[in-house]
Amino acid sequence: MKKQIIAMAASAAILASCGGQTTVKETTNKFDYTVEQFADLQILRYQVPGFENLTLKQKELVYYLTQAALEGRDILFDQNGKYNLRIRRMLEAVYTGYQGDKTTPDFKNMEVYLKRVWFSNGIHHHYGTEKFVPNFSQDFLRKAVLSLDASTLPLADGQTAEQLCDEVFPVIFDPTIMPKRVNQADGEDLVLTSAGNYYDGVTQQEAEAFYSAMKDPNDETPVSYGLNSRLVKEDGKIQEKVWKVGGLYTQAIEKIVYWLKKAETVAENESQKAVIAQLVKFYETGDLKDFDDYAILWVKDLDSRIDFVNGFTESYGDPLGMKASWESLVNFKDLEATHRTEVISSNAQWFEDHSPVDSAFKKEKVKGVSAKVITAAILAGDLYPSTAIGINLPNANWIRAHHGSKSVTIGNITDAYNKAAHGNGFNEEFAYSDAEIQSIDKYGDIVDELHTDLHECLGHGSGKLLPGVDPDALRAYGSTIEEARADLFGLYYVADPKLVELKLVPDAEAYKSGYYTYLMNGLMTQLVRIEPGNNIEEAHMRNRQLIARWVFEKGAADKVVEMVKKEGKTYVVINDYQKLRTLFGELLAEIQRIKSTGDYEGARALVENYAVKVDPVLHAEVLARYKKLNLAPYKGFVNPKYELVTDANGNITDVTVSYDEGYAEQMLRYSKDYSPLPSVN
């Protein structure tokens, strides 16, 4: 499962959703986190702080695992649609080999289209899954393709360039062909109407019948049926084509296995070695029992500094939720940031005892969760260029129940999001004055991370239900109330002197930046994600508006928080930070009471009165101001580049990391050096 940063360009405040422990690193000011922007996308880069301090053997391990990560890129392209590799290769051939005028609108728009194809690993939007609309003419593309040296084109045996155009142009240009990668529309045949390449020639009913016949309802440790195969109908017979060595995608999987075996030779310890060996075995057999054995070994490997995901992992791309897209992430533990979550967790009882909620609703014994903060070394497959900020695996429920799961947050990625947002004009537009902007610049990232840590490590785990209270008593309001509870726990404690004492914040002023951004977000700026005329639906957004509107209203008599107009624009002003903290505490006590007693009516009243409705005039103003900033709603990353350093005898003496690669440059390099699959699979 994934925690995503969804479509936001705003400052750290918006990251304070469920998920995302983050870490601040002292990075050089010179590092440029932004690469380029096109369509609705912004490309960023991230640093890998601490890589230099790994041992040579650890660096070597990271290097081999990054190679294994990059070799799987073509798999995802093919999974996302059966024409994707052909289209990518054809467009790359035009992009690099075209001898005509590269400054015409047609060429420039084709370039944007190709950049979007790289970003989405196919011709459908990575998030919305709808097919891109090309802003260049068929005529231009056909002439360009036909002008190329045919040996640079992805031609099938005996195929001419003309025939290639005839085959793939309808897929690019006809909006009725493969319009959605994942169709979830109720009542339609989701398999036949989804463009993903997980099924071929089978209907939804046939696919469902095929897998339900496999399942044994009494099996308490079921494998993840269908996870690693395409389901096809050939000669009237429905069967799985398994992705494994010797099976479908073997050319890529063999390369992955090659690098994994190299990695095995430099594993940090025996348990990590066993993890890698078992993954290799799974790639070789394709047997899903081997996959479960691998997942169990992986979840138990907690002592290694370096960790990785490599394989068929998440099933968001399959409308039936069974078949997994290929992805890889190589990472190592961020010791400093993990220390922070450990400090918070080890003081969990103190926080519980001192919280402002009624003692009847407190836990006598509370245990904090200490999530691991990791530093990503490479993103690949379905985590590239768009990535999650937190990952919780494995997905098999019985393995999670019997053996646990690993929950990680990716510190350097969140850091890159934050750093790239600095200076993008967002806070300058929406914050009231220089004082707030300076406070956010100075403290914003660290306070936001701490708030998230408090939310995750303590907030969700605090408090208790009274005996006999149904945990689902709040029904549809349950998740908003739960997120509000965790957020309020964080808001109340982020201002506590205890945090200064624990050295988690630099001083007693720091929390003010977090209070300001929280209210600015909850009262105003999160509305940029809502279409005009719509209400707020999503639980985290509801919870933020609930909290912000409630304290605004309750503090109105004392002018604790105000909305003021300056030169025709609306701003949030906080006049009394200490009183605001008291109000957060009061709301926390009330929300905990609602949760502990299962007070459905109380939950309904709070959510409906404060969390759902949007002031249309303010909304329009916020949208207009946001639009002027010209920020891209979706972000992705280029990877760093790793290179082996060898001595005269060929022995590896170091692994270097560099960050100067551009977006198109990296994509073309990957397509050249890591592209083992044929165009048709």
> Where on the chain is the footprint of Zn ion (CB under 5 A)?
18, 486
Q: Which is nearer to Zn ion, 486 or 547 (CB)?
A: 486
How far apart CA 93 and CA 557 sit, in angstroms, is: 67
Q: Which is nearer to Zn ion, 459 or 636 (CB)?
A: 459
Spatial contact of 19 and 390, defined as CB atoms under 8 Å apart: yes
Sheet holding 34-38, edge to edge: 34-38, 41-45, 634-638
Q: How far is the CB of 19 from Zn ion (least distance, A)?
A: 7
Q: How far is the CB of 643 from Zn ion (least distance, A)?
A: 40
Structure tokens at 678: 């044929």
Q: Which is nearer to Zn ion, 70 or 486 (CB)?
A: 486
Query: What SS3 state is found at 364?
Result: coil
Comparing C-alpha atoms, which of 255, 393, 245 is closest to residue 324? Answer: 393
Q: How far is the CB of 450 from Zn ion (least distance, A)?
A: 15
Q: Which is nearer to Zn ion, 18 or 178 (CB)?
A: 18
Spatial contact of 537 and 473, defined as CB atoms under 8 Å apart: no
Q: How far is the CB of 495 from Zn ion (least distance, A)?
A: 19
Q: How far is the CB of 607 from Zn ion (least distance, A)?
A: 16
Residues 6 or more apart whose Cβ sits within 8 Å of residue 502: 343, 344, 347
Q: Which is nearer to Zn ion, 304 or 545 (CB)?
A: 545
Spatial contact of 409 and 329, defined as CB atoms under 8 Å apart: no
How far apart CA 658 and CA 639 sit, in angstroms, is: 9
With left for phi above 0 and alpha for psi between -120 and 50, is residue 239 left, alpha or beta?
beta
Spatial contact of 50 and 332, defined as CB atoms under 8 Å apart: yes
Comparing C-alpha atoms, which of 230, 224, 221 is closest to residue 78? Answer: 230
Count the neighbouring beta carbons within 10 Å of the beta carbon of residue 425.
13
Q: Which is nearer to Zn ion, 3 or 73 (CB)?
A: 3
Q: Which is nearer to Zn ion, 18 or 76 (CB)?
A: 18
Q: How far is the CB of 17 from Zn ion (least distance, A)?
A: 7
Spatial contact of 295 and 11, defined as CB atoms under 8 Å apart: no
Q: Which is nearer to Zn ion, 17 or 386 (CB)?
A: 17
DSSP labels for 297-359?
A: HHHH--S-SEEEEEEEEE-TTSTTS-S-EEEEEEEEE-HHHHHHHHHHHHTHHHHHHTSSS-G
Comparing C-alpha atoms, which of 663, 671, 657, 669 is closest to residue 637? Answer: 663
Spatial contact of 96 and 126, defined as CB atoms under 8 Å apart: no
Q: Give the DSSP H or E segment for 653.
A: strand 652-658
Q: How far is the CB of 428 from Zn ion (least distance, A)?
A: 29
Q: Which is nearer to Zn ion, 18 or 296 (CB)?
A: 18
Q: How many residues does the chain have?
A: 681
Query: What SS3 state is found at 409?
Result: strand
How far apart CA 216 and CA 205 sit, in angstroms, is: 19
Q: Which is nearer to Zn ion, 85 or 486 (CB)?
A: 486
Q: How far is the CB of 488 from Zn ion (least distance, A)?
A: 11
Q: How far is the CB of 481 from Zn ion (least distance, A)?
A: 11
Q: Give residue number: closest CB to Zn ion.
A: 18
Structure tokens at 580: 């605001």
Q: How far is the CB of 483 from Zn ion (least distance, A)?
A: 5
Spatial contact of 584 and 566, defined as CB atoms under 8 Å apart: no
How far apart CA 80 and CA 88 sit, in angstroms, is: 12
Residues 6 or more apart whose Cβ sits within 8 Å of residue 646: 652, 653
Q: How far is the CB of 460 from Zn ion (least distance, A)?
A: 6
Q: How far is the CB of 539 from Zn ion (least distance, A)?
A: 9
Cα separations in angstroms, 257 against 119, 284, 343, 652, 676: 25, 8, 39, 21, 13
Q: How far is the CB of 371 from Zn ion (least distance, A)?
A: 12
Spatial contact of 630 and 579, defined as CB atoms under 8 Å apart: no
Count the neighbouring beta carbons within 10 Å of the beta carbon of residue 307.
21
Spatial contact of 415 and 423, defined as CB atoms under 8 Å apart: no
Q: Which is nearer to Zn ion, 306 or 486 (CB)?
A: 486
Q: Which is nearer to Zn ion, 369 or 500 (CB)?
A: 369
Q: Give the DSSP H or E segment for 388.
A: strand 388-393
Q: Give the DSSP H or E segment for 380.
A: strand 372-381
Q: How far is the CB of 673 from Zn ion (least distance, A)?
A: 41
Q: Which is nearer to Zn ion, 178 or 366 (CB)?
A: 366
Q: Which is nearer to Zn ion, 207 or 389 (CB)?
A: 389
Q: Which is nearer to Zn ion, 276 or 344 (CB)?
A: 344
Comparing C-alpha atoms, which of 560, 561, 551, 559 is closest to residue 591? Answer: 551
Helices within 150-249 (DSSP H only): 161-173, 204-214
How far apart CA 264 and CA 268 sit, in angstroms, is: 9
Q: How far is the CB of 20 from Zn ion (least distance, A)?
A: 10
Q: Which is nearer to Zn ion, 179 or 461 (CB)?
A: 461
